[in-house]
Amino acid sequence: MAIVIKPITVEVSKPNIFQAIAAKQGDSNSRFLKVTFVNEGEKIPVLTTSIVAINAKRSDGQSDRFLGKAVGDGTAIVPIDRWILELAGYVNCDVSITDIEGRTLTSTSFSILVEEASYNSNDTPDEEQYDFLQELAEEVLGRIETKADKNEVSSAIRNTASGSVVVLTDVSSVEHTLSVKARSKNLIPYPYEFSSPNTNNGVTFTDNGDGTISVIGTPPTSYASCVLASRLEILANTEYTLSGGFSNCYVILTAHDKTSGAWKADVCSVMGTAKNFTVTEEIASTCYLRAYLRVIAGGTVDGTAYPMLETGTIATEFEKGTKVITYTPNEDGTVEGVTSLSPNTTLYTDTENVVLDVTYNADTKMYIDNKFAELAAMLLNS
């Protein structure tokens, strides 16, 4: 289905003067706004930890609000909900952001012009229409099953799962290739790449053996740094949290081209409070991330860094990272070092404090059935 995402820029301290946003009455789950907040033209970044909502008042006097999502580029996506498009006419709107400290900032108002529909899409399809759609879906799935029974390579659907214990309920009966990697909660692997103790520009970095690093000294004119890891790979459009710096000492992530090693982008840096971030498809596919400590020029330090990169939006208790362990399946399909239990494929390892990342071939019909179920749940809850 086509989805329309319209970018808009909204002011917080003066009237918005752009033309009303046009949309069609009755549209549902297909229209969104990509909102950039500005103050007198200067961009206000929306943190990924913020709560975002579009507030709307229709011509019948009714009001409602609908939650959106902050994205990694400092903007937010909000839905033009079906309720907003239920009645033809102008809808008065604004967008608000609320940070983790409970502070709310709301844009000045703008309008959505809902153009009257030629046909009322709210009419419920009759039983005959539902039967036709179900027959069509079953026919498509039947063709997919036939293809899978023929053991055609293109029938495989690659899927992933992660956890300290991984339960797979949709593994293909045709192809059983598993790729299993074990990693720690902390994605910065230990031991680190620098030799300890390491003195750089007046600052000494000492590996304490538990993943923490003592940092002592004062860089006189330029910054001092040490590399922790230089070939980190992470997923696009996934929330990560970086933490562990202290006063005058940053934990920093930068992106470097996988082929040339050239710097491509600054990804995230923290000196005090932990920060959340995501990376784009381009960065995830073409770059390695480099993690290192940096002490600012002229900044005196005498403290301990707890460098930690983890998935999710909450900084948890520090844990030393480990090197990623890759388990290669044997010819009979077993994976040494990883235990598999039936009837479902349940994977776990005796190694403590690791997370398994599993890539496998999913049963095509079960995979699509699950996607249909997710879609149905989403529509019922919308």
Which residues have CB under 8 Å from 243's CB, separation 6+?
Answer: 251, 270, 274, 275, 306, 307, 308, 315, 318
Beta-strand runs (E) in 3-88: 4-11, 21-24, 31-39, 42-44, 51-57, 63-67, 69-70, 76-79
Measured in residues, the chain has a length of 382
Which residues have CB under 8 Å from 82's CB, separation 6+?
Answer: 26, 27, 28, 29, 382
Q: Report DSSP state, residue 121.
A: T
Which pLDDT does position 168 carry in this prediction? 64
Of 271, 297, 293, which is closest to residue 219 (Cα–Cα)?
A: 297
Same domain, 346 and 270: no
How far apart CA 149 and CA 173 sit, in angstroms, is: 9
Is residue 20, in this structure, part of any structural domain at all? yes
Could you tell me the mean pLDDT of each successive run of 10 residues in the chain, 382 residues long? 80 86 87 90 86 91 88 84 91 90 89 84 50 52 47 51 62 59 77 90 92 93 89 81 91 90 88 87 88 90 92 84 66 52 52 61 61 53 48
Is residue 342, in this structure, part of any structural domain at all? yes
Is residue 36, in this structure, part of any structural domain at all? yes
Which pLDDT does position 272 carry in this prediction? 82
Same domain, 26 and 106: yes
Separation of first and last alpha carbons in the chain: 16
Same domain, 105 and 52: yes
Is residue 127, in this structure, part of any structural domain at all? no
Q: Which residue's structure tokens are 């299993």?
A: 180
Q: Which residue's structure tokens are 């809808």?
A: 91
Among 72, 100, 115, identify where a domain stops: 115
Phi, psi of 366 (to 5 degrees): -65, -40
Same domain, 363 and 278: no
Which pLDDT does position 138 carry in this prediction? 55
- Which range of residues forms the domain containing residue 267? 198-311
Structural domain count, the chain: 3
Is residue 139, in this structure, part of any structural domain at all? no
Which residues have CB under 8 Å from 113's CB, separation 6+?
Answer: 20, 21, 22, 23, 89, 90, 91
Same domain, 10 and 92: yes
- Cα dihedral across residues 151, 157, 162, 165: positive or negative: negative
Same domain, 17 and 84: yes
Which pLDDT does position 213 carry in this prediction? 95
Among 97, 115, 133, identify where a domain stops: 115
Of 322, 330, 315, 318, which is closest to residue 357 (Cα–Cα)?
A: 322
Are 248 and 301 in contact, with CB atoms under 8 Å apart? yes
Is residue 318, in this structure, part of any structural domain at all? no
Which pLDDT does position 40 carry in this prediction? 87
Same domain, 297 and 331: no
Whole-angstrom CA distances from 241 to 234, 235, 362 are: 12, 13, 30
Same domain, 220 and 286: yes
Is residue 122, in this structure, part of any structural domain at all? no
Is residue 91, in this structure, part of any structural domain at all? yes
Same domain, 275 and 358: no
- The CATH number given to whatever domain includes residue 54 is 2.60.40.3350
Which pLDDT does position 99 carry in this prediction? 82
Are 79 and 56 in contact, with CB atoms under 8 Å apart? no
Question: Would the pTM of this model clear 0.85, i.e. be above it?
Answer: no
Same domain, 40 and 95: yes
Phi, psi of 258 (to 5 degrees): -65, -30
Same domain, 80 and 154: no
Cα 331–chain centre separation = 35
Which pLDDT does position 85 carry in this prediction? 92
Same domain, 70 and 24: yes
- The CATH number given to whatever domain includes residue 263 is 2.60.120
Which residues have CB under 8 Å from 5's CB, separation 6+?
Answer: 32, 33, 34, 77
